[in-house]
Structure formats: C-alpha cells, structure tokens
Structure 1
C-alpha cells in the first residue's frame, strides 16, 4: 500500500475503535492555520486534529493524527514501518462536555492538546512510555484553575494510566500503537514526584489506578498524597 492507502486505513481503524466505545462526533477539532507552519511541532502527516467521543460515563477527547503514517512514506524507506509517533493521547472526563464550542474552550481540551503537541515534538515518546510505563511531565498554557498550577505556571500530568474503558493498544495499518491516557495531577502530587522521583511516580500511579474513577481527570478529585 502507498501513503494514501495507509493513511485512509489507519483513520478508519481509529474511527472504528472509538465507535466501539461511544458516540464518535462527526466534527473534529482542528486549526484554520496549521501551527507547524508557524514554528510549532510538525505532526507525522502535518494534519493536526482531535476527536470527541461521548460515553455513558462522560466525554473522551483524543488526538487524531499522531499515528498517521509519515507524509514522506512513499519516498523514505526509514519511515515505512511506522504509524507516526506510535501513539494517540486522550483525556477522559466524568461529565458530558456539551457542545462543540464548549469542548474547544474547555480546560480538558487544553490539557490533551498540550500533551499531544509535546508528543509531536518527541518522536521517541512511545519508547519512553514503554520503558517507564508511567511518565510524568509539566505542560504550559493549560486553562486549568490557578489552584492546579505550580509556581512556574505549569500543570502536571501523568501519562500512561490504565483506563477502565479504553484499551492500551490499537492495531493500525503499519504497527500497533499506544493509546495514552493523560491524567491531571494535583500540585501536591506533582511536587511529590518532583521531589522523590520515579518511586513516587509509581506510587501515585498505583493509587490513582485503585480509584473508582481510575483514568479520569476532574477538578474535584482529592490528592492521593
């Protein structure tokens, strides 16, 4: 298959996957002007989009394009074995986020958007998550309440938690990719990980996965440390 065929098949497989979980919106969130044209990170096929899935227990927002085949697939043998960076990033909410415009302006979208942009700038992200299982990081420009920001104005997230409704992997046309959960951390949890390192990150991950709403991000969640 050529680039276009792999692109279409991968898109169909992602859509089929999300439709098996909930109601996939026909609209996608994208840009009028691609940020990569203005110095932002370039996505594999240059297409940057996000999809919305309504489920009985809330809304899922996911990147849609990080696992597209690379746009030089037909001419670059080095990229012919990969579905992009090998990941898509999603955030689970315990509420229905409402209309398309409400979703675009939500703090949840700002968090998953910044996580996806971080991944687009780091094509080794899949291997990093595979090696460490859980990855914690800080994101800029997220519209969370100030109480979730650290002293540098950044918000902490944990990547890779197991979800109760989203499988961890999805087979696409070229390879099996990771579906990476993005979980909002409290400032206390972020500070604990920053101070104590990998053991603290694993401890918090275990505690979060033991919660009834494991994998979901919401502002009312109490800190586990």
Structure 2
C-alpha cells in the first residue's frame, strides 16, 4: 500500500517473484507484472485498507493473473485486458445485472510508471480501473473488443479522476 496526500494505491505483492513452473524451467520474473489500483482517501472511510472492496479487487485480479499465467502477452497483443469479478461488499452502483464488477487493466497511468526495475529485470505495472456497468457493457457488446478497451482506457484517462477507481462517477462511453 502506498499512501499519497489524497489517495491510496494498493499494489499486489508476489506476481513478479521468481518461480519454477511445472516444467522446472526457471522464470526469473514470475508473471512479469504486478497490479495496482488507486482510489481517493474518502473511498476507505477511515477503515483498514485490507477490509475494503478495493483490496478485494486487487486480490481477485492477482488471482486471475496468476491463474492465467500470460496476461502480459494479452496486454502486448491488445493493449489492455478487461474482466468481470465477483466481489464481496462491492458498491451496488458498480454491479452489473450478474452482480459482477468490471475492471480494465492497462499499463501505466498519468501518475504511475508503466514498469519498474527489479534485481531480475523490468516488471510491468498494470493499473486496474473499476468500470461502471455501462462501460463493461460497452466492451462486452463491441464487435472489436480490443479497440473498445483502448478507446475506453483513453476516455477514462482523459477524465479528471483519470485512472482512479471511484464507485460513484458518471460512465464514460467513447463515441
């Protein structure tokens, strides 16, 4: 966790740790990435970060990244990745008709680096942005999902809140 003057950044821990896979081949940087989410201090209402729905977002995204194993390749190919999560205690305004919360993962943000160095080499830093239900539907209904994610990422970063995950904000639908 990183506390800034007006926000908190929750960062995964361990996705880039070295490990040996099933073939006993040493992978020096694990999954080659870590994930983070930034939200205003008000989103935590003074409660411990670990008790927040935002912490659950990072936990679940981390589990998905670890399970998939090649999110870095999807990001290189498509520029961003989206997923729907079953969160505990998510704000109802963020849940779609299936009671899931959408997120968008992209590399870097205006105030966050796209990568950082480790003793084993460079590791990508993926920014997770919580989506409004209409934004998740925009991606789901698009013929070119990769382009819709890129357009949405650009529209979100152009907003005043940028990459911050905020429960109650107007949906940003690119035209």
Tell me the distance in 1 between the aligned counterparts of 2:115 and 2:107: 12
Q: How many residues align?
A: 169
Are the aligned partners of 1:162 and 1:214 in contact in 2 as well (CA < 8 Å)? no
Q: Deviations over 1:87-128 (max 9, x none)?
A: 1111001216476x6211111111111111110101111111
Q: In the alignment, which residue of structure 2 is the partner of 1:223?
A: 171
1:141 and 2:141 matched: no
Are the aligned partners of 1:89 and 1:112 in contact in 2 as well (CA < 8 Å)? yes
TM-score by length of 2: 0.88
Q: In the alignment, which residue of structure 2 is the partner of 1:58?
A: 7
Are the aligned partners of 2:93 and 2:168 in contact in 1 as well (CA < 8 Å)? no
Tell me the distance in 1 between the aligned counterparts of 2:88 and 2:130: 11
Cα-Cα RMSD: 2.0
Greater relative contact order, per chain length (Cα 8 Å cut-off, separation 6+): 2
Q: Which runs of 5+ in 1 are unaligned?
A: 1-51
Give the 5 Å matches for 1:54-133. 54-70=3-19, 72=20, 76=24, 78-80=25-27, 82-95=28-41, 97=44, 102-133=48-79
Q: Which runs of 5+ in 2 are unaligned?
A: none
Runs of 4+ aligned structure 1 residues displaced above 3 Å come to 96-99
Q: Which of 202, 207, 223 is the matching residue for 2:155? A: 207
Higher strand share: 2
TM-score by length of 1: 0.69
Q: In the alignment, which residue of structure 2 is the partner of 1:155?
A: 101
